[in-house]
Structure 1
Amino acid sequence: MELRTLRYFVAVAEELHFGRAAARLHMSQPPLSRAIKQLESDVGAVLLLRSATGVTLTPAGAALLAEARSLLDQADRARVRVAAAAGEAVLTVGILGDSTDPHAVRLADTYRRRHPDVEVRVRDADLTDPTCGLRTGLVDVALTRGPFDETGLSVHELRTDPVGAVLRADDPLAARDHLDLADLAGRRWFRFPDGTDPRWQSYWHGGEPREGPVVRAVQECLQAVLWNGTVGLMPLGHQPPGDLVVVPLPAMPPSPVVMAWQQGNANPLVRSFAHIAMAAYRTRDEV
C-alpha cells in the first residue's frame, strides 16, 4: 500500500463521499475511485459500501482508517524530523480571525506537542487579505476564512460558522430573533478597502455594494458599529462587547473556516500541519 493511496482512502472515509473527497484532494473522481478499488483488491476486503447518497465504512474500512491515520502520521513525523535535522524546521502560519477559537488552541497545543523542535512563526493578518500573506510568500500556510479567490491554492474546509448582523444593542432590529438581508437595506455598512479580494468583499458585504466606513481589522468593524450605528456581518460564535449584539441571518450561507497553502508546496512541515489541523477540527469541543 502506498502512502498516497492511503491518503486517498482517508479522504473518502472522512468525507463519506467520493465527490467531496476528490474536491478535497484536488483531483477528478474517476482516478480516485480506481485507486480505492485497487486498494480494496490489495487488502482483499471491501472497505466502502457505495450508494447514490454517498459511502459508508465497512468494519474492514473502519479498521484500515485507524491504521492509515497512524501510518500517515508517522510518515509526516519522519519528514518533519528530517527537515529539523537539515536546519529547516521553521513554519510561518498566517492567522485571520479569533485566536481564542478552541479548535485553533487545540491545533497549537497538538502541533507543539508533536513537533517541539519546529519554530512556528505566526503572522496576524487584517481583513484586507483573507489569504493572510499566502500569495505574497509571507506565510507557508494560512488558517483563515472564506470565501476568497482560490486560484493556485490548495484549500481545505475545516468548519462552517453561521453568520449574523452585528448591531448596537439599542438598534430597533436588535431585539429580533433573526433577520433577512432585506431588513438591512439602506443601512450603512462597514466595508473593506478597494482592491480587497472581490469574492471576500461580496460575501461580507451581503452580496451588494455598500456605503459606510472603511475598516481593516475586527476591532475597527466593532467600533464602526458602536460609534456610527453601522451594520455588518459577524460569525455567530464570536461574542461582541456588551453594547453590541449579533442577530442571526439564516438565509446567508455560513462562513467556512479553512486552511490554505500554495499548490505544489512540498514542504513537509505544511503537510504535517494540515493533517494535525484536520484532526483538531474533527474533534468536538466537549472532547
Structure 2
Amino acid sequence: METRELRYFVAVAEELHFGRAAQRLGIAQPPLSRAIHRLERRLDAVLLERTSRAVTLTEAGSVLLREARAALDAVEAAERRTRRAALAATGRPAVVLATKAGASSELLAKLLDAYAAEPDAVAVDLLLCGIGEQEPMLRDGRADVALLHQPFDDTAGFDVEELHTEGQIVVLPAGHPLAAREQVRAAEVAGLPDLPLPRWPGRDGTYPDGPGPRARDHAQLFQLIALGRACWIAPQSCRAQLGDDLAGVPVVDAPQVTTVIAWPPHSRSRAVAGLVRTATRL
C-alpha cells in the first residue's frame, strides 16, 4: 500500500462522507472513490459500507483505520527526525523536548540548567503542550523526548526513566470550607455539588459528557476555580502556581503521579541520550 492510499482512506473513514473527504484532501470525488475501490480489491476486503444515505466502517475498515493512522504517524515521525538529523550534520544540532505547560516546573528548570552545563549539550527546543498533547507529539516525531506523567499519559512503546513521584492535591477556592482541612478524600471531592471537576478534551478535540466546565489550560482552569465554578485534583507540584485566591489540600487516597522522561526506543540521538542521562542524575 502507498501512503497516498492510506491518507485517502483515513480521510474517508474519519469524515464518513466521500464529498467532505475529497474536499479535505483537495481532490475531486471520482478519483477518491476509485482509489478506495482499488484499495479494497487489493486487500480483498470491504472497508466501507456505502448506502445512498450513509457511509460506515466495516470491522476490517476499523482495523485498517487504526493501523493506517499508526503507519502515517510513523512516516511523519521518520521525516521529521531525518530532517533534524540532517540539521545536526550541518552543525546545527538540537533536541526537541515536549512537556505539559505548568507541570513539573521545578524539575524542568533543574533539568534544563543541568543539561546546559554538560560539555556536549546542544540547543533544547521546548514545546509547552496542553493536557495530554506531549505523548502524541513524541509518537509523531514533533518531539524527540518528553516528560510524561503516569498514570495519565500512555507510555506504551517508549523507553522511560522515572524521575519523580508525588501525591496529589485538590485545588479549591481559598474561601471554601474544605480549604481549611489538612487533608481530604477523593470521595469528598467528587461529592462537591457546587465545584464539579473539569472536563478535558480528548485527542480528537471533543469533550466527554459531564457537569464540569470545559477546560483548555491551567490559567483558564485556575480562574474558574477562583470564581467558584470548579475544583481540580492535580499533582502536588502545582502548588507553586497557586495564587492567594486558591488553596491546595492533599487528597490522601488519590493515586501517586510519577513523572518520567520518555523517548522512542529506536532513537540513536546522542543529544537525547545526553538529556536522559542528565535527567536521571537529578
C-alpha separation in 2, matches of 1:196 and 1:276? 34
C-alpha separation in 1, matches of 2:113 and 2:260? 19
C-alpha separation in 2, matches of 1:196 and 1:169? 34
Farther-moved stretch of structure 1 (268-277 vs 115-124)? 115-124
C-alpha separation in 1, matches of 2:93 and 2:254? 41
Structure 1 match to 2:114: 110
Please say if residues 198 and 212 of structure 2, whose CA atoms lie closer than 8 Å, have aligned partners that are also in contact: yes
Structure 2 match to 1:224: 224
Classify the secondary structure of the residue corresponding to 1:131: helix
Counterparts of 1:162-201 in structure 2 under 5 Å? 162-187=167-192, 188-195=196-203
C-alpha separation in 1, matches of 2:271 and 2:104? 23
Classify the secondary structure of the residue corresponding to 2:139: coil
Please say if residues 164 and 233 of structure 1, whose CA atoms lie closer than 8 Å, have aligned partners that are also in contact: yes
Q: Following TM superposition, by how much is the alpha carbon of 1:113 offset from its aligned partner in structure 2, in angstroms?
A: 1.8
C-alpha separation in 2, matches of 1:116 and 1:220? 39
RMSD: 2.7
Q: What per-residue deviation string (whole Å, max 9, x for no partner) do you get for residues 158-179 of structure 1?
A: 0011111100011121111111
Identical columns (%): 26
Structure 2 match to 1:96: 100
C-alpha separation in 1, matches of 2:142 and 2:104? 23
**Gap runs ≥5 in structure 1:** 1-82, 281-287
Q: Following TM superposition, by how much is the alpha carbon of 1:250 offset from its aligned partner in structure 2, in angstroms?
A: 1.1
C-alpha separation in 1, matches of 2:263 and 2:212? 33
Normalising by structure 1, what TM-score?
0.59
C-alpha separation in 1, matches of 2:197 and 2:220? 12
**Gap runs ≥5 in structure 2:** 1-86
Classify the secondary structure of the residue corresponding to 1:134: helix
Number of aligned residues? 189
Structure 2 match to 1:261: 263
C-alpha separation in 2, matches of 1:146 and 1:92? 21
Normalising by structure 2, what TM-score?
0.60
Q: Following TM superposition, by how much is the alpha carbon of 1:186 offset from its aligned partner in structure 2, in angstroms?
A: 3.8
**Aligned with residue 159 of structure 2, among 138, 154, 159:** 154
Counterparts of 1:27-176 in structure 2 under 5 Å? 87=91, 89-98=93-102, 101-115=105-119, 118-131=122-135, 133-147=137-151, 148-176=153-181
Equivalent position amino acid for 2:112 in 1: A
Farther-moved stretch of structure 1 (270-279 vs 123-132)? 123-132
Structure 1 match to 2:233: 233
C-alpha separation in 2, matches of 1:134 and 1:140? 6
Equivalent position amino acid for 1:151 in 2: A
Q: 1:84 and 1:194, CA in 2 relative to 1: closer, same or farther beyond 3 A? A: closer
Please say if residues 162 and 235 of structure 1, whose CA atoms lie closer than 8 Å, have aligned partners that are also in contact: yes
Q: Following TM superposition, by how much is the alpha carbon of 1:110 offset from its aligned partner in structure 2, in angstroms?
A: 2.0
C-alpha separation in 1, matches of 2:203 and 2:272? 28
Q: 1:211 and 1:99, CA in 2 relative to 1: closer, same or farther beyond 3 A? A: closer
C-alpha separation in 1, matches of 2:180 and 2:269? 50
Larger Rg: 2
Please say if residues 84 and 118 of structure 1, whose CA atoms lie closer than 8 Å, have aligned partners that are also in contact: no
**Aligned with residue 247 of structure 1, among 246, 249, 254:** 249
Q: What per-residue deviation string (whole Å, max 9, x for no partner) do you get for residues 48-103 of structure 1?
A: xxxxxxxxxxxxxxxxxxxxxxxxxxxxxxxxxxx966535211111224478333
Farther-moved stretch of structure 1 (182-191 vs 153-162)? 182-191
Q: Following TM superposition, by how much is the alpha carbon of 1:132 offset from its aligned partner in structure 2, in angstroms?
A: 6.6
